[in-house]
Chain A
Amino acid sequence: MSEQGTSAQGTSQGSTVLTTGTGKEQARGHAGGFLAGPVGRNLGLVLALVILCVVGIATAGDRFADVDNVLTILRLASVIGVVSVGMTFVIIGGGIDLSVGALVALASVWATTLATQQMAEDVHWIVMVFTALVVGGVAGLVNGVVIAYGRLAAFIATLAMLAAARGLAEIIANRRTQIVRDRDFLSFFSGDVLGVPTLVIIFALVAVAGWVLLNRTTFGRRTFAVGGNAEAARLAGIRVQRHTVKLYVLSGICCGIAAVMLMARTTTGSSTHGTLYELDAIAAVVIGGTLLIGGRGTIVGTVLGVLIFTTLGNVFTLNNLSSSAQAVARGVIIILAVLLQQRVATGGFSFRRPGSGSSSGGPALPGSPSGAVSGGTTAAGGPGGARPAATGKTL
């Protein structure tokens, strides 16, 4: 991967997604600073978030800087944040999961049916949590098996799951909003520990677990390898298909967790839960610096991406602005964050050499042959790896 950032290949839009901080990425590989690496890498995002906060304080003053308000932002970010962490793994692994929103809906509905709630009442509310996680995990398993062994494109397979899961949720719920009656469940999840809402703690735990899993385990290295170059990964002895299945199961379980959190937040299960989460999560993941074609990405970036969008919504509401204006700002932020990210981390080099390989959108994608030439050294060792254009996406 390092050749893309340092050489002149990263010149056109295709590679702008994240041509940043590749040196730092390697440094992080062994030095392992939890903050130093990711923050350096995500400076652009941090900057965007800081600017947003400054705007918030300037326009809404005390109301924005208020502890309650910050906790509200974090609480609202937590559900989509958990989904986005799962999505980060899938995207780094070279796939995409369009079904996350529908899975959140399905898990929330399944976990709040009268039967489940009755069982939860008889046993313990953990039954509801368990149900949601299992539903999410199994749906993810179906996704993974269809993609890995059925050889369907991830886009199509999860698109099918998106439709089917939401339809099933509607059938189960009969299009009704199912109220959660278990007070213990609600008070546990909507409570707080030392002033920090439980939902935020869950989000933090999931994010930290995701970071460790991605950066400190074989599983994480394999994820990078599979997403970077599936063929090279296979040759390096990674069971690519099995690993792909695991990634989708992971994403599904994250959806299950998110469903539980959403049930606590709204006190309901509903087939309308999680609408458009797939797009929110993908947006957060991508502005967080994860390559849409896989092989590279960070959890910290994703978390920052989620926080930026949630803070944006909050600042707009504090200033009594319309949701339409917010949507425009959202679009602008996606572009700005990615640009900033690239500028800050690379010293603004991106427009210096517009000549090479930028004649059309395609050639300068990291999948281009030039990237593959020098990158074939470490297939399983890290986020590097050759990427013959054709194989990267066909997991």
Chain B
Amino acid sequence: MSATRQRPFRRLPYATVALLSAGVLVAGCTSNTPEDSGSAGGGNQAASDNDEAGNTVTIGFSAPAADHGWMAGITEAARAEAENYEDVELVVAEGTNDVSTQISQVETFINDGVDAIVLLPFDGAAMTPVAIQAMEAGIPVINVDREFDSPFAARTTILGDNYGMGVSAGTYICEQLGDQPDAVVAEIAGIDSLPLTQDRSQGFADALSECGLDVDNRVAADFTVEGGEEAASNLLQAAPQIDALWNHDDDQGVGVLAAIESAGRDEFIMVGGAGSANAMRAIQEGNSVLQATVIYPHTQAADGIRLARLVAQDKALSDLTEVEVPRQIVLNAPVVTTDNVDQYIDNAFES
């Protein structure tokens, strides 16, 4: 889904900073209590005259190919956000998973002299040099989701919190299972070789250990429905009795739920990840094992567009006292349950 660069030595403090800064941004929000996210979905008005039209700015946008529900949601949300502003002219490059193609897209943006670039790199490290090139040409780069290697490559970085997702899921499961040290917890991960998957799993394990639990059975799938079904089928055989299951991704979750239904199992609670509309509808209906999902905002590129506009127009984030847009914004990973699903479902992406 996305590959945030992994920096293990900074992971823990980084996650703490992440949660704190998200807390600052989102009024009245504690780390795992889902509140209305200040950055979600274009519904929020600026507290100042920031939303009023200023100089027209041209923003170049490039992201990986939309081969997955979440990634498709990213580009759609970015387009929709740009529509909301009459002073934003969005140039969207065709989504690509080829690094050299994406580099040439950014080079084109530089040559065209756009006012800002919003970039969700396929590979953060590989896109760093061309991002630096853009910055040196005086074009602010807004880095979304997958971080660059160098602090000189982006004016502002906005990213989801993979480690925090794991923490949210683990904390929720701890709350639900209460005081059962023998409870069996299972995990269905995404693509295991991606740093983001490792971050999520680490957060999950760390949060579980807070209440004396650990992951008893873990399998990895591949973010597809089919992979999820296969992994879950085998997992259910491996663990005849489960108390809680965390599935990293709601796209593959459709397959996981199919496998669970086919095996006729319902003795456990399941928590999803990413926050697709499918998953939220299932939570709303409440007749499956899926009780909650952890959001990994698909609106972060949309926020990237907003930030790019503010930077290009020399405006600041109006809810902060700072004169400048912050360097880095890490989004919260709230848990969605039946209690608050209505708040999020309109904003969810269709997988």
Binding site for B on A (CB under 8 A): 60, 63, 66, 68-69, 72, 75-76, 170, 174-177, 179, 190, 262, 265-268, 270-275, 313-314, 317-320, 322-324
Contact = CB atoms under 8 A, between A and B. Distances in A.
B109 to A, nearest CB: 24
B220 A273 contact: no
B254 A317 contact: no
B87 to A, nearest CB: 30
Contacts of A270: 224-226
A317 B240 CA distance: 13
A274 B229 CA distance: 12
Given A274-B226, A275-B226, A320-B217, A176 B351 contact: yes
Contacts of B235: 317
Nearest to A318: B238
21 contacts: A60-B238, A63-B237, A68-B237, A72-B233, A72-B263, A75-B233, A176-B72, A177-B351, A179-B278, A262-B226, A265-B262, A266-B226, A268-B258, A272-B67, A275-B227, A313-B234, A314-B234, A317-B219, A318-B237, A320-B217, A320-B218
Given A72-B234, A176-B69, A266-B226, 11 more contacts: A69-B237, A72-B263, A177-B225, A177-B278, A265-B229, A265-B255, A266-B225, A267-B258, A270-B224, A275-B226, A323-B220
A322 B262 CA distance: 24
A267 to B, nearest CB: 4
Contacts of A272: 67-68, 224-226
Interface string B230-255: 11011111101000000000010011
A270 B225 CA distance: 8
A353 to B, nearest CB: 43
A320 B218 CA distance: 6
A330 to B, nearest CB: 14
A302 B245 CA distance: 35
Contact of B254 (A60, A174, A267, A323): A267
Contact of B234 (A179, A268, A275, A318): A318
B231 A317 contact: yes
Given A63-B237, A175-B66, A176-B350, A76 B217 contact: no
B192 interface: yes
Contacts of B261: 267
Enumerate the 6 nearest inter-chain pairs by beta-carbon distance, A residue then B residue, closest first.
A317-B234, A272-B224, A69-B237, A267-B258, A318-B238, A323-B220
Contacts of B231: 317
A262 B257 CA distance: 14
A361 B350 CA distance: 52
A179 B218 CA distance: 26
A79 to B, nearest CB: 8
Interface in B21-73: 66-69, 72
A317 B237 contact: yes
Contacts of A314: 234, 237
A10 B146 CA distance: 53
A319 B219 CA distance: 10
Nearest to A199: B262
Interface string B62-99: 00001111001000000000000000000000000000
B193 interface: yes
Nearest to B219: A317
Interface of B: 66-69, 72, 192-193, 216-220, 222, 224-231, 233-238, 240, 251, 254-255, 257-258, 261-263, 278, 350-351
A84 to B, nearest CB: 16
Nearest to A108: B226
Contacts of B217: 320
Nearest to A180: B258
Contacts of B219: 317, 323
B224 A63 contact: no
Given A179-B278, A320-B218, A275 B224 contact: yes
A262 B68 CA distance: 18
A266 B254 contact: yes
A72 B237 contact: yes
Nearest to B349: A176
Contacts of B69: 175-177
B258 A265 contact: yes
A179 B262 contact: no
A340 to B, nearest CB: 25
Given A69-B237, A270-B225, A177 B251 contact: yes
A68 B238 CA distance: 11
Contacts of A76: 230, 233-234
Nearest to B215: A320
A268 B218 contact: no
B225 A275 contact: no
A63 B193 contact: no
A262 B227 CA distance: 11
Contacts of A319: 238
Nearest to A272: B224
Contacts of A317: 219, 231, 234-235, 237-238
A63 B193 CA distance: 28
A174 B67 CA distance: 10
Nearest to B258: A267
Contacts of B192: 322-324
A319 B238 CA distance: 7
Contacts of B67: 170, 175, 271-272
Contacts of B225: 177, 266, 268, 270, 272-273
A66 B350 contact: no
Contact of B262 (A174, A190, A275, A318): A190
Contacts of A313: 230, 234
Contacts of B238: 60, 63, 317-320
Contacts of B218: 320
A266 B229 contact: yes
B152 to A, nearest CB: 34
A274 B230 CA distance: 12
A270 B350 CA distance: 13
A6 to B, nearest CB: 42
